[in-house]
Amino acid sequence: MWTHLLALLGLAALCGGWIIFQDWLKRQDPSYRGYKAGCGACGNGACESEQGSCSPPATQIKLPPRK
């Protein structure tokens, strides 16, 4: 019983620390606009307006001819 209570208190402390860290981080870089859902998941094109295109640069691999 006490082990479960201790684990619950630890999780609550961790969540509280995370909130405090996020507030501190926001003060350190006020120009950061936060998380954008979909950015980095190029399937929906959420990043195209800011970065031009989500597609990676074309890469060509040359393999030796088969014998």
Residue boundaries of the structural domains of the chain? 1-25
Which residues touch 26 (CB under 8 Å, ≥6 apart)? 32
Q: What helix, strand, coil percent values describe the chain, rounded to 5?
A: 45, 0, 55
* CA distance linking residue 55 with residue 43, whole number of Å: 10
- The burial class, CB within 10 Å (0-12 / 13-18 / 19+), for 46 is middle
**Is pLDDT larger for residue 7 or for residue 37?**
7
pLDDT of the residue at 47:
53
State the pTM of this model.
0.43
pLDDT tens-digit series, residues 9-56:
999 999 999 999 988 887 887 676 665 555 555 555 555 555 555 555
